[in-house]
Amino acid sequence: MFKNTVCLAGRPLHRITAGTTRLFSSSIPTLKDERTVESHLQFLSKFYTPDLLQSIKITESLVTPKQVLDLKKRGLEGKSKAAPSDVSSDLHRADPKWTEPIVYPNQADNRSPYAPIPANQAPDRTDLVMRFKETKTKAKNDRRADRKAFTKGLSNLTGLDEGYVSRLYVRPIVMKRVSCQTSKGKIPNFYALTVVGDKNGMIGLGEGKSRDGMRTALGKAHWNAVKNLTPITRYEDRTIIGNIDHRYHAVKLFLKSAPSGFGLRVNSNIFEVCQAAGIKDLAGKVYKSRNPMNVTKGFVEALTKQRSLEDLASGRGKKLVDLRKVYYSA
């Protein structure tokens, strides 16, 4: 049974070949003579082309009624995809001409069944080819390489050990977008303030500005903070020496040393600086302005201006042991 060929007109045909007549069962009387066959072919020629009519004749002569019944029982799977081209053709279920992939005029070899979208700017201009570069996302290895190059550059600049620079505690304090008003209009810019420390008495504060984005500004701030690393004086490696009353612009800071286990009961920005410097016990209060940038800068300035215990003892005419015992209960 062939789809598009057998019973297309609802009327079967028969053909007499080599003295053998193959007839089909049909709802109409069987065609018994050659004249009836010819008249029927003339009738079908009104609806079908000569090639299709030849296929119908070949199909009717090759297929037996039993085969037709078997193919009908098998449903759509029993139908062939193509009609036979000659009498010697067998009942193919998958003709090569139907199964081969479609090749379009603008399609390269081994690119079936779908043609790629042409990369031309205009369909009638084949010389204008648009070439797109594949954007590759930065892999983790690339980021590690950038980080290593950044650390190596800082090590060469400051003379510090590369491993020490890579282990520094880094914390951004202020990140904001600002606008510079010029005659050309408002020019956007990015600002970052970063604190760096080793949690053992070394602290640095750095600022970074960039028009390329916050990431670039943070990189500059980190670079400047490592360059500005400064040692600070601590009492018992945990708190400040005595009380500090410091003023920085409109910010008034009052800081007080605390006993062991007291913790950090201070402003949030001062807390981050204490974490980087290695100060574990401190009490403090910020009066008047609480601008994060000025508070951070004022606190770092107050820490670097502390006097050591040796200086205090020599200024008061006391021994270092007596000063620890009398003033600090040590």
Last residue of a domain, one of 194, 229, 264: 229
Give percent of the chain with pLDDT exceeding 90: 45
Domain-embedded: residue 19: yes
- State whether the Cα torsion 285-290-292-296 is positive or negative: negative
Residue 217 domain flag: yes
User: How do residues 78-92 score in pLDDT, each as one tens digit?
Assistant: 655 555 566 565 555
Which range marks the domain in which residue 37 is found?
15-99
* Residue 134 counted as domain residue: no
Task: With respect to residue 1, please indicate whether it lies within any of the assigned structural domains.
Answer: no
Structure confidence at residue 27 (pLDDT) = 39
How many domains in the chain?
3
Q: Report pLDDT digits (tens) over 21-70.
A: 444 444 344 445 567 777 878 888 888 888 888 887 887 777 777 877 77
What is the per-residue pLDDT for 18? 41
Q: What is the mean pLDDT of the chain?
A: 78
234: CB partners within 8 A, 6+ apart = 201, 240, 241, 277, 278, 279
Do 307 and 241 touch, CB atoms closer than 8 A?
Answer: yes
Please report, for the domain that includes residue 284, its CATH number. 3.30.230.10
Least-confidence region, from 119-123, 203-207, 302-306: 119-123
Tokens of residue 41, six digits: 């072919």
Instruction: Note the helical H segments in the chain.
Output: 34-45, 50-62, 65-74, 96-99, 140-158, 162-166, 214-227, 268-277, 292-304, 309-316, 320-328
Residues 270, 307, single domain; the answer is: yes
263 and 286 in a single domain? The answer is: yes
> Tokens 């270092």 sit at which residue?
320
Q: Is the pLDDT of residue 127 over 50?
A: yes
- Tell me the mean pLDDT in the region 95-114: 56
Question: What span, in angstroms and rounded, lies between the C-alpha atoms of 44 and 220?
Answer: 88
Q: Is the same domain home to 88 and 163? A: no
220, 209 Cβ separation under 8 angstroms: yes
- 240 phi and psi, to 5 degrees? -85, 170
Claim: this prediction has a pTM higher than 0.75: no
CA distance 37 to 270: 107
pLDDT for 29 equals 46
Contacts 24+ apart (CB under 8 A), 203-209: 203/229, 203/230, 203/232, 203/273, 203/276, 203/277, 203/300, 203/303, 204/228, 204/229, 204/230, 205/296, 205/297, 205/300
The CATH number of the domain where 177 resides is what? 3.30.160.20
Which two three-digit tokens encode residue 310?
A: 């040796």
Q: Which of 118-122, 244-248, 322-326 has the highest mean pLDDT?
A: 244-248
**Residues in Cβ contact with 115 at an 8 Å cutoff, skipping those fewer than 6 apart:** 104, 106, 107
Whether the predicted pLDDT of 2 surpasses 50 = no
Q: State the pLDDT at residue 49.
A: 86
Report the alpha-carbon distance of residue 118 to residue 223 in Å, rounded: 48
pLDDT recorded at residue 283? 95
Q: Is residue 305 part of a domain?
A: yes
What pLDDT was estimated at residue 143? 82
For residue 14, pLDDT over 60 is answered with: no
- Report how far residue 278's alpha carbon sits from residue 271's, in angstroms, rounded to the nearest whole number: 10
The angle formed by the CA atoms of residues 261, 296 and 260, to the nearest 5 degrees, is 10
Residue 108 to residue 74: CA distance in whole angstroms: 39
pLDDT at 41 (0 to 100) = 80
What integer pLDDT is reported at residue 68 of this predicted model? 74
Most confident segment among 18-32, 68-82, 214-228, 306-320: 214-228
Q: Is 311 within the bounds of a domain?
A: yes
User: Which of 14-28, 186-200, 217-231, 268-282 is the least confident region?
Assistant: 14-28
| Cα-based angle 101, 102, 103 (whole degrees, multiple of 5) | 115
Q: What percent of the chain has pLDDT over 70?
A: 67
Residue 118 counted as domain residue: no
Output the pLDDT for position 320: 79
22 in a domain, yes or no? yes
